[in-house]
Amino acid sequence: MALQPQLKKIFFLAALSLSYPTWSQRWGTQLPEQLNEISGLASTDNQQLWALNDGGNTAELFRVDPSSGKILERCVPGIPNRDWEELCVDAFGRFWIADTGNNLNNRKNLRFYCFDPITHQVDSLLFHYPDQMAFPPKKEEDWNFDTEAVIWHNNRLHLFTKSRFKGRHYTKHYQLTAVPGTQVAELVDSLPLPRRAVTGAALSPDGRELVLIAYFFQKRPWPYTRATLYHFSSFENTRFLEGKIKSKRLPKGLFARQFESVVYFQGNWWVANEQLLWQTPRLWKLRFKP
């Protein structure tokens, strides 16, 4: 029997109230349509917040006002956007753009671009995974060579892979030396994350806290996702995945959002979601106490 209009309204409002637990911005900050597929966030020493879109979009970096969501500045590095997925800033103020999206696990040209926003000099680091022997691997459950989550730390790039296949949901941690050239990534560790695919990473300025964000998308009678923040602490050196771990559900409406970027900025963790159906891209400041 169909619900009466008033009952439908009550159900809708109740669902919304239950799905927003303890976030400091109940509705987030709406981002412009130019950032509909926001996939990376990074903060600089001079307290600027920068973002990028993933593959299929313009090859630009955007400086964003976190309070209003407005674009304050655009920067065109002059490099192609095959599948940009992450953005980092190193100790010299250079951007490391991760052109590492690899949903089909068949790319042989995975690379990072190192872009200096002052001189506009561009270098690149081409790499491959030591344990990938086929492009793509024969079995889909072995497709774990897609990276959307990267941090820069002590002149190294740390990559956390995204696995989307049932029964094989885990992330692998690789590292590279952050210098131009050609390298083989070093496999450091791995961690099972049931029913989650990692899509973003961020490190606190003191290097003592790591955050990964993840979601899992399934087709049901309606689009349905779960999105989670994983907080790691008390790890030794860069053995991030061996640290103490806590998790927290990311904000959602009736359905969870497609979160693909996270950053530590002005003393808080911030996440951003892409456009998904009627859900507009938004930037969220989290109230998270480990």
pLDDT in tens, the chain (290 residues): 443 444 333 333 333 333 333 434 457 999 999 999 999 999 999 999 999 999 999 999 999 999 999 999 999 999 999 999 999 999 999 999 999 999 999 999 999 999 999 999 999 999 999 999 999 999 988 999 999 999 999 999 999 999 987 667 899 999 999 999 999 999 999 999 988 999 999 999 999 999 999 988 666 655 566 899 999 999 999 999 999 999 999 987 777 789 999 999 999 999 999 998 788 999 999 977 76
User: Has residue 13 been placed in a domain?
Assistant: no
Q: Distance (Å, rounded) from C-alpha 35 to C-alpha 69? A: 10
The domain in which residue 249 lies consists of 25-285
Q: Return the CATH number at 180.
A: 2.120.10.30
User: Has residue 1 been placed in a domain?
Assistant: no
Contact between residue 149 and residue 159 where contact means Cβ atoms under 8 Å apart: yes
Q: Distance (Å, rounded) from C-alpha 246 to C-alpha 235? A: 13
User: Has residue 17 been placed in a domain?
Assistant: no
* Residue 235 structure tokens: 């790890």
Q: Distance (Å, rounded) from C-alpha 19 to C-alpha 153? A: 34
What's the whole-model pTM score?
0.89
User: Has residue 4 been placed in a domain?
Assistant: no
Q: Distance (Å, rounded) from C-alpha 161 to C-alpha 107? A: 14
User: Has residue 2 been placed in a domain?
Assistant: no
User: Has residue 19 been placed in a domain?
Assistant: no
User: Has residue 18 been placed in a domain?
Assistant: no
User: Has residue 15 been placed in a domain?
Assistant: no
Instruction: State the total domains in the chain.
Output: 1
